[in-house]
Amino acid sequence: MWKRYITVSQLEEATEIIAAESISARIVAGATDLMLELEKGGHREVSTLVDISRVNGLNSIHIDDDGWIHLGPMVTHNSVIASSILRKFAAPLVQACWSVGSPQIRNRGTVAGNLITASPANDTITPLMAMGAYLVLTSTNGSRIVSLDEFYTGVRKTLLQPHEVLTDIYFPAIRENQKGIFIKYALRNAQAISLVNIAIVLDLENGFIHNANITLGAVAPTIIHAREAERLLTGKQLNDSVIQEAADLVQMAAKPITDVRSSAEYRKKIVRVVAKRGLEALSLQETPTIPENPVLLSTSVDPVCIPEQIVHAQTEKIITNINGKRYEFSSGWDKSLLRLLREDAGLIGTKEGCAEGECGACTVILDGCAVMSCLVPAPRAHLAEIQTIEGVSTDGKLDPVQIAFMEEGAVQCGYCTPGFIMSAHKLLEEYPTPSQEQILQSLTGNLCRCTGYYSIISAVEKAAKAVREPEV
């Protein structure tokens, strides 16, 4: 799919490479969208991928002395969810990240990548725009600052130039006199693209709205502001009549299209509903809450850094550790991690279902994080620790999760089972005594066409009990 894969040790190396190669080079962070597009034959102009995921410090989340929150380009959706800073000062962004994909996707997908991909349905754009975010775009010529409001120029079009890298996302922390909310409406609760999403941030003074920001996703070529609704709310108190009128104006602002997920007419109706729900929730102070102990399927959030740049092409080996065993691959640098495991390592327990990050059959553990291996470039395995289904058993003994799946009849055709077991196994590492809600959260990235899921949930519950109360 690509001719060279360069893993950089410093951000400056990345800017130098893309400055030299222009449109033939692409930055790789999480690559959850890029890998899918490359697999489907897109971006034929791209011959070099530049991986910044092993650069130290790019996953930083901090608040400066002036009250501005900064997100590095490698901050993942799960990093946002786990951040105490963002939970306290950027709740709409946390709510948006919690709605993205599944734990496996959130472990790889980055906020920066979500912004750059520029889909009008992307979930993190609306809250960041409502909170007044700015982007720092860096090249070999220096840096420039662009407001998120100005960043988008059309469907999947931005001001980012081929020689630039997004190096910082910053926005003011939500203050005590502000209220914010993000609501997503989709066809299912997980692994779903927004039919409509909305973010609302209100500045309040003595019960009156001093300033309002309402941003809408999936209802126009780009993320937009509902300007008339914002103007209406300014100077008002939130009551039933004001909320109704504002929701009507939000509906008028929407210019949706009909696509495979929804008709334009339906989106027009739904955007009014979610706007009304969001304003009512803010008036009653009943904003959505993220679980106190969210399931991340991750026990590591820091990248495995490298000391110097590595160029993977025909002559450079991929050296990695899989299930506690060292592997050296002279091939496979131009494919997905899934294909590397199956074709080059001969570890065929990991299955390809959808090859789009939807089904979870290819779930493996990469440096402590559950990921969809079909969406991970194979060179990311270099100097990494990987666990596949073959490595779940210990000393020839089946893992409690494997035993429970058999005893509970949680296996039918068995094709999806390795992915379910990997997710459940990681869950019990993260939460040895999970609630049923946590079990459900852990399995949102795994699909089964055979069962009704009840036996799978029972199996995970049984495995958790076996871990807590091992037989003597």
Token representation of residue 331 = 């091939």
Whether pLDDT at 471 is above 80: no
**Whole-angstrom Cα distance, residue 273 to residue 261?**
18
Token couple for 15:
């800017």
Kindly report, residue by residue over 135-163, the tens digit of the pLDDT.
Answer: 999 999 999 999 999 999 999 999 999 99
Task: Give the integer Cα–Cα distance in Å for 97 and 76.
Answer: 9
- Name the residue ranges covered by the structural domains of the chain: 58-284, 392-472
pLDDT at 299: 85
> Angle, to 10 degrees, between the axis of helix 454-468 and the axis of helix 400-407?
140
Where helices occur in 285-375 by DSSP H, the ranges are 337-339
Q: How far apart are CA 45 and CA 26, in angstroms?
A: 10
State the Cα–Cα distance between residues 63 and 293, nearest whole angstrom: 23
In terms of pLDDT, which residue wins out, 303 or 243? 243
Alpha carbon distance, N-terminus to C-terminus of the chain? 52
Same fold, 58-284 and 392-472: no
Q: Give how far the C-alpha of residue 287 lies from the chain's centroid of Cα atoms, to the nearest Å.
A: 22
Close Cβ partners of 213 (under 8 Å, ≥ 6 residues apart): 129, 130, 131, 132, 199, 200, 201, 202, 225, 230
Mean pLDDT of 117-134: 97
Closest of 101, 157, 99 to residue 126, by C-alpha:
99
CB 158 within 8 Å of CB 151? yes
pLDDT higher than threshold 90 for residue 452: no
Going by pLDDT thresholds of 50, 70 and 90, the confidence category of residue 179 is very high
- Which of 188, 261, 174 has the alpha carbon at shortest distance from 218? 261
Q: Are 316 and 333 in contact (CB under 8 A)?
A: yes
User: How far lies 58's CA from each of 117, 151, 166, in Å?
Assistant: 19, 21, 11
Domain 58-284: assigned CATH number = 3.30.465.10
**What pLDDT was estimated at residue 165?**
97
Q: What is the CATH number of domain 392-472?
A: 1.10.150.120
Residue 443: CB partners within 8 Å, gap ≥ 6? 420, 423, 424, 453, 456, 457, 460
State the Cα–Cα distance between residues 448 and 454, nearest whole angstrom.
11
DSSP, res 344: I
The mean predicted confidence, pLDDT, of the chain is 95
pLDDT value of residue 186: 95
Report the pLDDT value the prediction gives residue 454, as an integer from 0 to 100: 93
